[in-house]
Amino acid sequence: MGLVGPNGREIPRCTPEARGRRRLTRGDIMLVLGIETSQRPGTVALCDASTCLDERPLELPNQQHAQALPSVVAALFSDHSRLIDDLALLAVSHGPGSFTGLRVGMAFAKTLAWATGCPLVPVDTFVAIATDAPDDVDSLYVVADAHRQELFTRHYRRGADRQWTPTGEFAIESAQAWCRSRQPGDAIAGPALSSILDQLPDHVRPITLETSLPRAQAIATLGRRDHQAGRHAEIATLEPFYLRRSAAEENRETRRAASTS
């Protein structure tokens, strides 16, 4: 697969020979591309071993995620004088989140990983959100809009190593009931926070992050950590993580059931 830059020229595909030379000459410097499309507008980030070189929104005039991704990624590499040959790792937001957004981001990441031979690491989208929480927060609920007046929720705790781990499973909850059940001091963050603020009791702690959205920089950072721990995905079988089927899929199932009854 070729990536086409803003100037219309294709960015060359990485060859195995070039990849081998890069490993010999670049040492421990690892260039990571983080892709976050679980929410709009989505972002991509290019990070090296010590810093995030750049993070950009997937916003181009009259373009959706699928159209903007190749152009924005190509511009990232071009503007920082990097080649696709330099890429060592891909990290992609795994979900939960927007059905269409996750599918587009995952398809792009899988295709690019296949074309370049780079390992691909899926990252829990909610952990990426928790990563931006203030240092004094060690217990956090992350919430996202599940539509139908419901929330996707999961609770995370920060360990002695400062890494976030879930304390339970993902859940789909009634927004009203979930808000009523919050306990004093509960810290809450995530894309749905702004929509439930007026339902939350005064004794909770809303964590108003910079955007309350997952960021590609966090995806890249967590992907690097998982890669170093030996966790990777099989490109052929990797799929986005959904807590429920899309409305279109549920409607098709309803029509199918009605036609056979």
Q: What percent of the chain lies above the pLDDT cut of 70?
A: 78
Position 254 confidence tier, pLDDT thresholds 50, 70, 90: very low
CA distances from 67 to 4, 33, 42, 79, 91 (A): 11, 18, 12, 19, 19
Give the global pTM.
Answer: 0.83
Identify the pLDDT of residue 25. Answer: 40
Distance CA 148, CA 175 (A): 9
Give the alpha-carbon dihedral of 176, 177, 179, 181, to 10 degrees: 160
Q: How far apart are the first and last CA of the chain?
A: 46
What CA–CA distance (Å, rounded) separates 179 from 232? 36
Q: Rounded to an integer, what distance in angstroms lies between the CA atom of residue 75 and that of residue 70?
A: 9
Residue 4 confidence (pLDDT) above 70? no
pLDDT for 85 equals 85
Look at residue 168 and tell me whether its pLDDT is greater than 70.
yes
Domains of the chain: 3-125+213-244 (3.30.420.40), 133-206 (3.30.420.40)
Q: Answer whether 36's CB lies under 8 Å from 221's CB.
A: no
Reply yes or no on whether the pLDDT at 26 is more than 50. Answer: no
pLDDT of residue 14: 54
- Closest Cα partner for 190 from 206, 169, 174? 206
For residue 34, the surrounding DSSP H or E stretch is: strand 31-36
C-alpha closest to that of 239 among 53, 95, 29, 48 = 95
Mean pLDDT of 72-91: 93
Question: In the prediction, which pLDDT does 20 show?
Answer: 55
